[in-house]
A and B are shown apart, each in its own frame.
Chain A
Amino acid sequence: MSPKTLYDKIWDAHLAHEADDGTCLLYIDRHLVHEVTSPQAFEGLRMSGRKVRAPEKTIAVPDHNVPTTLDRADATTMTEDSRIQVNALDTNAKEFGIHYYPVSDVRQGIVHIVGPEQGWTLPGMTVVCGDSHTATHGAFGSLAHGIGTSEVEHVLATQTLIQKKSKNMKVEITGKLAHGVTAKDITMAVIGKTGTAGGTGYVIEYCGEAIRELSMEGRMTVCNMAIEGGARAGLIAPDEKTFEYCMGRPHAPKGAQWEAALTWWKTLFSDEDAYWDEILVIKAEDIAPLVTWGTSPEDVLPITALVPSADSFTGGKVEAAQRALDYMGLKAGQPLSEVEIDTVFIGSCTNGRIEDLRAAAEILKGKKVKDGIRAMIVPGSGLVRAQAEEEGLADIFKDAGFEWRLAGCSMCLAMNPDQLAPAERCAATSNRNFEGRQGRGGRTHLMSPGMAAAAAITGKLTDVREMM
Chain B
Amino acid sequence: MEKFNTLTGIAAPMPLINIDTDMIIPKQFLKTIKRSGLGVNLFDEMRYDDDRNEIPTFVLNQDAYRDAQIIIAGDNFGCGSSREHAPWAIADFGITCVIAPSFADIFYNNCFKNGILPIALPQEQIDVLMKDAEKGANARMTVDIEEQTVTTSDGEVFKFEVDTFKKHCLMQGLDDIGLTMEKSASIDTFEAAAQTQRPWV
Contacts and interface: CB of A to CB of B under 8 A. Distances in A.
Contacts of B187: 16-17, 25, 27, 158-160
Given A65-B31, A148-B82, A200-B76, A25 B186 contact: yes
A261 to B, nearest CB: 5
A130 interface: yes
Given A65-B31, A148-B113, A415-B30, A257 B180 contact: no
B176 A154 contact: yes
A21 B167 CA distance: 12
Contacts of B109: 147-148, 151
Q: Give the size category of B's interface with A.
A: 35 or more
Interface string A312-331: 00011101100100000000
Contact of B26 (A124, A125, A315, A440): A440
Nearest to A146: B82
B31 A79 contact: yes
A316 B16 contact: yes
Interface stretch (B4-12, B150-158, B193-201): B193-201
Contact of A162 (B27, B32, B81, B176): B176
B44 to A, nearest CB: 9
Nearest to A296: B18
A310 interface: no
Interface string A428-450: 00001011110010000000000
Nearest to A437: B22
A415 B27 contact: yes
Interface in B134-187: 163-165, 176-177, 180-181, 183-184, 186-187
Given A17-B190, A151-B113, A230-B79, A132 B106 contact: yes
B16 A320 contact: yes
20 contacts: A16-B183, A37-B82, A122-B200, A124-B198, A148-B83, A148-B87, A148-B106, A158-B177, A162-B176, A230-B104, A258-B200, A316-B75, A413-B27, A415-B28, A415-B31, A432-B20, A434-B20, A436-B26, A437-B27, A440-B50
Interface of A: 13, 15-17, 19, 21, 23, 25, 27, 29, 36-37, 39-40, 43, 48, 50, 57, 64-65, 79, 81-82, 84-85, 88, 122, 124-125, 130-132, 145-151, 153-154, 157-160, 162, 164, 196-197, 200-201, 230, 232, 252-253, 257-258, 260-261, 264, 296, 315-317, 319-320, 323, 413-415, 422, 432, 434-437, 440
Interface of B: 15-18, 20, 22-23, 26-28, 30-35, 45, 50, 74-76, 79-84, 87, 102-106, 109-110, 113-114, 123, 163-165, 176-177, 180-181, 183-184, 186-187, 190-191, 194, 197-201
